[in-house]
Amino acid sequence: MVEYAWLAPLLPLVGYVFLLALGRRAPEGLVAGISVILTFLSFLVSLAVFTALGSHPDATGAYTFRWLTLGTHSIDVGFQVTHLNALMLLVVSAVSTLVFLFSVGYMHKDERFSVFYQYLNLFVFSMMALVISPNLFQLYIFWEMVGLCSYLLIGFWYFKPEAALAAKKSFIVTRLGDVGLFIGIILLFLSSGSFDYSTVFQAATSGHLGLPWISSAHLTTLAAILVFTGAVGKSAQFPLHIWLPDAMEGPTPVSALIHAATMVAAGVYLVARTYPLFEASGVALTVVAWIGGITALLGALIALTQRDIKRVIAYSTISQLGYMMMGLGVGAYAYGMFHLFTHAFFKALLFLAAGSVIHAVDTQDLFEMGGLGKKMRITQWTFLFGALALAGVFPWAGFWSKDSIINATLQSGHIVLFWFAEIAAFCTAFYIFRVYFLTFHGKPKDEAKYAHAHEGSWVMTVPLIILAIMAFIAGFFNTGLNNYGLEKYLMADSPTGLIGHVYPDNVALMIASVALALLGILVAALMYWKPVISAEKLAQSLGGIYRLSFRKFYLDEIYYRLIVWTGKLIASIVDFFDRYILDAIVWLLGRAGYMGGVGLKYTQTGQVQTYSVIALFGLMILVAIAMFHVGGVF
């Protein structure tokens, strides 16, 4: 079965081409039908591959053919299915199938409905191709392609200036990271002579990664960090996280699929895929861990105070991705991926639920909602499931994965990061339930909106329910109950059967974090459900901190001043130089020539004797020089 894995990405591509052929005005039913069916098929393929790989774990070869010859080397493309890849395939295809279904309702009556599905199909294709690519080169290609799709989908409502800006911002900010990745893979290619993972890892672990100008150890660290910058950009890690919140300008299903479940996870996937490289250089791992930890905390803190429902969830995504990075950084390879797995479901769920809310009341401002619980039962309950999972309450999915990461952080002795994680965990519980209460409980703030609020059609509710179920059970894939199946499955990638470290469950810690989560929920309840504590008063009492969180630590402003502004300055300087210095010099030269001509012209006085005198001077000079030349007169 594994050798047919290429079908998984191919099917969405077929869908894309087909829709492209159908044109922009194709009927919604047809478009949606084709897309959903094809993605579902590719989900089945992925499932088959996943299980097939489980049964005989050694079938993880690469299937490639030559793409371009570079001197003595050749660049190949093809596909390779490791256990990691198989897992990603499964997640991607599953979530996308559900999102495709959901979008049928959400994008209903949008004039570019077909285009929307074209982009989505293209995205799913690129994402899957990225996941199963056998070498860094192909990975980079589809890395950029998913970036493109994200750009297109964020800017889907192109007529909204915010959307246009957000799209541009997302592309450029991620591009900043991609340059790192770009240079990184070039350096790896030059030093190891190939883009293939195996060859690179070989060279890295055996210390043959040197170049004339740099030693192997340093190059490994350098390359690893460069590759990581790519992940930082894509996974919206600090300091390149600023694009993700703005990306919420796109349609909500897009946020669910691309900016929660799949594409933003690509960064985590990349680090996991190139894990041997990071392991070969301790420094790089530490960097990953710290960046992850900081991001987790930062995201959670900012999420506390946002008013826009999607932005809250976006920041929570950032923070959760931080958890994953931290997990990988502290060596908990399996746990990081485990969290990626669970997070994909409950975060997609949260977004879709939020989407269904927005669809109902078409506002995103939390403080214009409220009391929607009565009108939208299913949405409410599913959202609650998602929230509990995110908050990490036993036995929901998030609990298992997040807790194992925190556990690993503690065990591996990163105390500071451990506290970051715990604080973040508390905040997480608080902010998500803040959203929950503000949306579904209390009194409706805006009667008009409340009036026409209603539950969406089955196409929207069914995915919610399925995801809710997943959000509940996904955690059990890696518990004692199934003898830690997932991590074993993932570990099968390495011959030694161990990548990074795994740690035994730590019951005390589990209880502690659940308590922490419940505390967070309680606080949220007291502030927004049964208002015992007034949120406003609290905000005023710790004004500075509140504003800091509300204004996202002013990072956007700082970046604008620091980077954009300098760039524009240089640009205008160059422009000035170009127009008023270089071009002016050229112009002057031309002018000078012409003026010389004019000057000469006025030697033609019309006086024949002047002519003769000038001629005679010429003669004199000639004679003089000639005489001197032949040495003296007579």
Partner 1 sequence: MALNSPVFPIPTGSLLALGALLFCIGLFGALTRRNLIIVLVSIELMLNAANINLVTFSRLGVNPSLAGQVFSLFTITVAAAEIAVGLALLLAIFRLRKSSEVHDLNVHKW
Partner 2 sequence: MPSAINWLQQPYWMTMGPLLVVVITAFLVMVLELIFRNGDRRWLTGISMLGTLIALGVALGHFSAQPNQALNTVVIDAFSSVFSVLILITVFLVLLFTLDYRGSNRLAAEHTYLLLFATAGALAMATSVDLVTLYVGLELLSISSYVLVAVRRKSVHSVEGGIKYMLMGALGSAVLLYGMSFIYGISGTTNLMELSAAAGTMFTTYPSITVLGFVLMLFGMGFKLSLVPFHMWTPDAYAGAPSAISSFLATLSKTAAFAMLLRLLLFIFNGVADKVFFWAGILAAITMVVGNFIALPQRNMKRLLAFSSVAQAGYILVPFALIGASTVQDWPSLFDSISFYLFAYTFMTVGAFAVVHIVSEQTHSLDSDALIGLFQRSPWLAVALSIFMLSMAGMPLTAGFLGKFYIFANTVQLHTPWLGIVLFATSVVSFFYYLGWLRKVFQREPEGDLVAVPISLPMNTLVTLCVVLTVVLGLVPATLLHPLLSAHWVY
Partner 3 sequence: MGLAFWFTILPLIAALLILVLPKLSSGVYRTLALAGGILSLILVLVGWFAFDGAASSVQLAGRIPWFTLPGLWHGHNLAVGLSFGVDGLSLPLATMTAVIGVLSLLAVPRDRQRARENYFWLSLALTGLLGVFTSQDLFTFLVALELVLFAVFFLVYLYGDPGHKEAAVKFLIYRGFSTVAFMVALVGLAWAAAGGYATASANAGNAVFTFNIPALTATLHQAISQWLSPAAASALFLVLLLGVFIEEAFVPFHTWLPTTHEHADPSTNMLIGGVVTKTGAYVLLRFGVGMLPGEVRHWGVLLAVFGVINILYGAFAAWSSKDWRRLIAYSGISHMGLVLLGVAALNTAGLQGAMFMLISSGLLTALLFFLTGAMKDRTTTLTIRSLGGLSKSMPVLSGFLLVAALGSLGLPLTSGFISEIQAFIGGFATYPAISFVGALGVVLSAVYLLYAMERTTFGPTAEGFLKLADARPFEYVPAVVLTGLVLLVGIYPDVIGHLFGLSAQALLRIGG
User: Pick from partner 2, partner 1, partner 3, none: which does 507 bind, CB < 5 to 8 A by kind?
Assistant: none
Q: How far apart are the first and last CA of the chain?
A: 107
- Select the span of 41-49, 332-340, 566-574, 621-629 touching partner 2 (CB under 8 A): 621-629
Neighbours of 44 (CB within 10 A): 15
Q: Which of 616, 623, 625, 627 binds partner 1 (CB under 8 A)?
A: 616
CB of 592 to partner 2, least distance (A): 10
Q: Quote the CA–CA distance of 271 and 232 in Å, as a whole number.
A: 10
Closer residue to partner 2, CB minimum distance, 70 or 598: 598
Dihedral pair phi/psi, residue 107, rounded to 5° = -90, 10
Contact (CB, 8 A) for 6 and 79: yes
Q: Quote the CA–CA distance of 148 and 125 in Å, as a whole number.
A: 12
CB of 586 to partner 3, least distance (A): 6
Location of structure tokens 């890892």: 201
Closer residue to partner 3, CB minimum distance, 226 or 486: 226
Location of structure tokens 């002519």: 611
Any contact of residue 634 with partner 2 (CB under 8 A)? Answer: yes
User: Pick from partner 1, partner 3, partner 2, none: which does 626 bind, CB < 5 to 8 A by kind?
Assistant: partner 2
Q: Give the distance from CA 29 to its chain's centroid.
A: 31
**Which of the residues 559 through 618 are near partner 2 (CB under 8 A)?**
593-594, 596-598, 600-601, 603-604, 606, 608, 610-612, 614-615, 617-618
Contact (CB, 8 A) for 356 and 379: yes
Question: Reduced to 3 states, what is the DSSP secondary structure of residue 623?
Answer: helix
Choose among 51, 68, 66, 36: nearest CA to 5: 51
Instruction: Please enumerate in sequence order all residues whose Cβ is within 8 A of that of 120, keeping only pairs 6 or more positions apart, or say none.
Output: 35, 96, 99, 100, 103, 149, 153, 253, 254, 257
Interface mask toward partner 3 for 579-618; x: CB under 8 A: ---xx--x---x----------------------------
Q: Is 568 exposed, middle or buried (0-12, 13-18, 19+ CB in 10 A)?
A: exposed
Any contact of residue 605 with partner 1 (CB under 8 A)? Answer: yes
Rg (CA), the chain: 31
User: Pick from partner 1, partner 2, partner 3, none: which does 617 bind, CB < 5 to 8 A by kind?
Assistant: partner 2
Task: For the chain, give the longest Cα–Cα distance.
Answer: 125
Q: Which of 55, 69, 496, 607 binds partner 3 (CB under 8 A)?
A: 69
Beta bridge partners of 74: 69
- Select the span of 41-49, 314-322, 362-370, 598-606 touching partner 1 (CB under 8 A): 598-606
Closer residue to partner 1, CB minimum distance, 496 or 604: 604
Any contact of residue 612 with partner 1 (CB under 8 A)? Answer: yes
Beta bridge partners of 211: 214
CB of 564 to partner 3, least distance (A): 9
Question: Reduced to 3 states, what is the DSSP secondary structure of residue 602?
Answer: coil
Query: Which amino acid makes up residue 145?
Result: M
- Select the span of 290-298, 372-380, 503-511, 602-610 touching partner 1 (CB under 8 A): 602-610
Q: Which of 70, 532, 608, 626 binds partner 1 (CB under 8 A)?
A: 608
Q: Is 387 exposed, middle or buried (0-12, 13-18, 19+ CB in 10 A)?
A: buried
Q: Is 473 exposed, middle or buried (0-12, 13-18, 19+ CB in 10 A)?
A: middle
**Which of the residues 128 through 147 are near partner 3 (CB under 8 A)?**
140-142, 144-145
**Which of the residues 138 through 157 are near partner 2 (CB under 8 A)?**
none
Interface residue list for partner 2 (CB under 8 A): 593-594, 596-598, 600-601, 603-604, 606, 608, 610-612, 614-615, 617-619, 622-623, 625-627, 629-634
Task: Note the residues at the interface with partner 3 (CB under 8 A).
Answer: 24, 66-72, 140-142, 144-145, 148, 155, 158-159, 161, 163-165, 167-168, 171-172, 175-176, 178-179, 182-183, 186-187, 189-190, 211, 213, 567-568, 570-572, 574-575, 578, 582-583, 586, 590
